[in-house]
Amino acid sequence: MRTVHLYKRMLEAPRQSFFLFGMRGTGKSTWARQTFPAAHRFDLLDEGLYQNYLRDARLFGRELLQIPAGQTVVVDEVQRLPSLLNEVHRFIESHGLRFVLLGSSARKLKQAGTNLLAGRALRRTMFPLLPQELGADFDLAEVLRFGSLPVIWRSETKAESLDAYVQLYLKQEIQAEALVRNLPGFARFLPIAALFHGQVLSVASLARDAGVARTTVSGYLDILGDTYLAWLLPAFEAKLRVKERHHPKLYWMDPGVMRAVKRELHPPGALERGVLLEGWVGALLKAYGEPGCGLGLRHDGLYYWAPTEGGTEVDFLVQRGTEFTAIEVKAKESLLSHDFKGLQAIAALKGVRRRVVVFLGERTFRTEDGIEALPVRAFLQELKGQTL
């Protein structure tokens, strides 16, 4: 069994108070215990504590009064009681306490009237284990099949653990927090949404396939985003001679969870491996572009590019200032001329400085017109070296 607690996470703790969000099982609590061993802790999964504060949030304030000024306070599962943020706000101002506010859902915290600390707390995100964090344990085939959530990665029975994870998500995240009125309808929606992984999102098609109203599907998609299971990649919109699509693409954050939702945890075939690799590369670009990730690779925008005419497409377009890096992902060991079609087309976009294909081969090379072919290992080295 892998000792996941030994993996060093790249997340850097801000000096001031901050929220730390991330899908359930990413290791937020473990990281907080390791990073702040002397912190005062309040775990709202403790049902007795939760019920006490639910009846009277002032009890939380009375306990904070006992903590010396300037100390660090960790509040786990803060989304369960958003009303506590009023006390957090007060003690940041009056006692100089630093709060580390952990949550697996931002949904209730986004509701009207919730005190989000008016900029007094930064916001950070924790992702599934990244290749640089896994080090020598990194195995691409294993990650694409089962994902890299710490709670799953350390399991000797990953398929069973992923199935249990999905059930736990429905019970603790959705049902317990009353995020939907129709839990069976949401459960039916999940595997349909998993089929849209890596696809341009059509709410109408998704609603039709799931057998629910479009407005309901829109709400369900918001829940996937607010609980960090999935994210939307917008289309790049520039005034070219052809009109870009305006619908986003849907990506799940962890390939294992996405496959577990579909109850398909067998070794992926060639067709599925393509979308799994694409989604995983997208999640890496998203993670490494977040503030506080420790890599310094923050970007100003992450998009896909796909003019409606001609069928050409580029999977990812990373923007820094006025410059772009275009990235295409191919789950194949050898590349053919048609694999470069999208990157050849995007050369006309102003500001494109690099065009890259990430693929499963072993050799790095460059085409005559300047397109770079990077094996996965080389791509990861560029991320690590902050050169992408």
pLDDT at 169: 86
For the sheet with 199-200, list strands across it: 199-200, 249-252, 230-233
pLDDT at 61: 95
The CA R_g of the chain, rounded to the nearest whole Å, is: 22
Q: Which residue has the higher pLDDT, 121 or 351?
A: 351
Contacts of 377 (CB under 8 A, 6+ apart): none
Comparing CA positions, the residue from 90, 81, 83 lying closest to residue 17 is 90
Predicted confidence (pLDDT) per residue in 147-168, tens digit: 999 999 989 999 999 999 999 8
Instruction: Judge residue 334's burial from the number of C-beta atoms within 10 Å of its C-beta, 0-12 exposed, 13-18 middle, 19 or more buried.
Output: exposed
Predicted confidence (pLDDT) per residue in 31-60, tens digit: 999 999 999 999 999 999 999 999 998 999
> CA-CA distance, 65 to 386, in Å (whole number)?
44
| Helix or strand run (H / E) with residue 132 | helix 131-134
Please give the mean pLDDT across all residues of the chain.
89
Mean pLDDT of 216-225: 91
Predicted model pTM: 0.91
The residues facing 40 across adjacent strands are 73
Mean pLDDT of 131-146: 96
User: Which stretches within 201-355 are classed as H helix?
Assistant: 203-210, 214-226, 255-261, 270-288, 341-345
- The ranges assigned to domains in the chain are 4-125, 131-231+248-267, 281-384
The number of CA neighbours under 13 Å toward the Cβ of 347 is 10
Q: Which of 140-149, 156-165, 206-215, 332-341 has the lowest mean pLDDT?
A: 206-215
244 in Cβ contact with 307 (< 8 Å): yes
Class of domain 281-384 (CATH, top level): alpha beta
pLDDT at 106: 83
CATH 3.90.79.10 fits 4-125, yes or no: no
Comparing CA positions, the residue from 372, 292, 362, 352 lying closest to residue 332 is 362
> CA-CA distance, 134 to 129, in Å (whole number)?
7
The residues facing 305 across adjacent strands are 314
pLDDT at 329: 98
Predicted confidence (pLDDT) per residue in 80-129, tens digit: 999 899 899 999 999 999 999 999 988 878 764 555 676 778 999 999 99
pLDDT at 244: 47
Mean pLDDT of 273-277: 97
pLDDT at 312: 84
At residue 239 the predicted structure's pLDDT band, cuts being 50, 70 and 90, is: low
Comparing CA positions, the residue from 204, 175, 187 lying closest to residue 263 is 187
Percent of the chain with pLDDT over 70: 91
Six-digit token string for 229: 């299971």
Mean pLDDT of 164-185: 80
> CA-CA distance, 94 to 69, in Å (whole number)?
9
Conformational region of residue 27, where left means phi above 0, alpha means psi within -120 to 50, and beta covers everything else? left
The residues facing 231 across adjacent strands are 251
What is the DSSP track for 156-207? SSHHHHHHHHHHHIIIIIIITTT--S-HHHHHHHHHHHHHTTTEE--HHHHH
Query: Rounded to 5 degrees, what are φ and ψ at 381?
Result: -65, -35
Residue 326, helix vs strand vs coil: strand
42 in Cβ contact with 73 (< 8 Å): yes
Q: How far is CA 214 from CA 101, 210, 217, 218, 330, in A?
A: 34, 10, 5, 6, 33
Distance between first and last Cα of the chain: 34
Identity of residue 106? A
Domain 4-125 matches domain 281-384 at the CATH topology level: no
